[in-house]
Structures are given as structure tokens and as C-alpha cells.
Amino acid sequence: MNIDRRGFLVAAAALGATSLSGGILAANAAGGASLIELPKLPWEQSALDPVISGNTVGFHYAKHHKGYVDALNKLIAGTPLEGRSLVEIVRESAGKADKAAIFNNAAQTWNHTFYWNSLSPKGGGKPGAELVSRIDDSFGSFDDFRRAFLTASTGQFGSGWVWLVLDKGSKKLSLIKTGNADTPISGDMHVPLAVLDVWEHAYYLDYQNRRLDYATAILDKLMNWRYVEDNLGKS
Ligand code: MN
């Protein structure tokens, strides 16, 4: 029997989703499969308070991040990118003028998930000895790294991101800035280790225009060094 996708969805609805496995469980009320999902936050919404308020996280996650996911799913529905992984969608759309909207929403979806994981209510301070040694080797000292991170954060003109990365060529840690939605995962030069969102929506409710205060507070109080170590370990 040859049933097309719509026919299958109708059949699935008749059977009841609980009797079916896999992607069909994600079928939404409109009858289409959910494509890319919004991951849960790795902590409670107010867990970063007072460095980042629950109010900021609420808007940033439930409006901005979710908005990118929803827009992406609309854009890829019925295209060859439907059903592909998020990283594949980012890479396939990067640098293509006719796929700019897909790239922007896919990259922003990925970047935000990486940002949430880069923050921890138990973060900040200095990392463990092994990572401090990598930072010393790459930046001169932890204080030099700290200065470079804050300079990069305030030096990104307009909206964008500041990334702590592993440079695949030199094997050293490095800081790079990307504008708007741009992300190191569209290329193959850097392994992202942690990221700071420097779009105004990330800090304006709590810090207004004081981006340096926001970046300083994140680095000193929330930076998830454990996540950096995990990402280094995987690279
Ligand atoms: Mn953001």
C-alpha cells in the first residue's frame, strides 16, 4: 500500500499518537510534523537572577529564541531542508543569498541554545587548573583573557556574539566576534566553547545600554567553565 505523507498523518491521527513511535509523536495541531524543536532551558527561568533577571530570560527565551524556531520551521516546511538537523540547515544555508532568512533563523536557534548552556548559576570565577593552563598558554594569563573578552564584547558594533573558541589550526583558544546571526559552526575553522549574546535584547531590561557591565557580570558570575571543558574534551 502506498500512502502519501498526508494520508499517513490522517491515519496516525485516527490511530492516536500514543500507538506510534518516532517523529509522528511530534505532529502538531495543524497536521504537520514539528521540525526543529526549542530545547528546554538548562536551569529555572529565574536561576540567573540577579545577574540576568527572570524577566530578561523569559522574554529572551520564550519570545526571541522561540520566535527564531517558529520562523525557521515555517521557512523550511515543504523544502528539501525539512527533516534535516539544525547544524545541517545552518551549513546548507550559510552564504546563500536566497536562503538568508533560513540561515538567520537557523543560526539564531543554534546560537541561543549554545548561549543558555554557556551560562550557569554555579558558573563564573576561574576554571579548573587544566583549563587555566590552556588559557594562560593562549592569552598570556587569565587576566589577559578577561580583558580581551570584555574588549571583544564592547567592540562588537551592533548586534552579534562573542565566542570563546578552539582554533583548529593553532590548537589555541581564541576569541572571535560574529555579527547578527553569524556563527562559527557555518565554517570549519573553530570549535565553539562558549558564547556571549551581545544583542541588546540579551541585557537591555537589566543593564540598559551598559554592555560592559553585562559582559563583566556574565564572565565573573555565570560563565559555565564546565561546559567549556566539556566542549574542549569533545573536540
Ligand atoms: Mn539573543
Ligand 1 centroid, distance to 3 Cα (angstroms): 42
- Hey, what domains does the chain have and what are their CATH numbers? 129-234 (3.55.40.20)
Ligand 1 centroid, distance to 13 Cα (angstroms): 36
Ligand 1 centroid, distance to 112 Cα (angstroms): 6
Is the pLDDT confidence value at 27 over 90? no
Q: What proportion of the chain, given as a percentage, has pLDDT over 70?
A: 86
Ligand 1 centroid, distance to 187 Cα (angstroms): 21
Is the pLDDT confidence value at 15 over 70? no
Predicted TM-score of the model (pTM): 0.86
Looking at per-residue pLDDT, the higher value among 65 and 4 belongs to 65
DSSP string for residues in the chain: ----HHHHHHHHHHH-GGG--GGGGGB-TTSSBP-S--PPPSS-TTTTTTTS-HHHHHHIIIIIIHHHHHHHHHHHTTSTTTTS-HHHHHHHHTT-GGGHHHHHHHHHHHHHHHHHHHB-TT--S---HHHHHHHHHHHSSHHHHHHHHHHHHHHS-SSEEEEEEEETTT--EEEEEEETT--GGGSSSEEEEEEEE-SGGGTHHHHTT-HHHHHHHIIIIIB-HHHHHHHHHH-
Q: pLDDT tens, 84-130?
A: 999 999 999 999 999 999 999 999 999 999 999 999 999 999 999 99
Ligand 1 centroid, distance to 5 Cα (angstroms): 35
CA distances in angstroms from 114 to 129, 162, 192, 203, listed in the order given: 24, 12, 9, 17
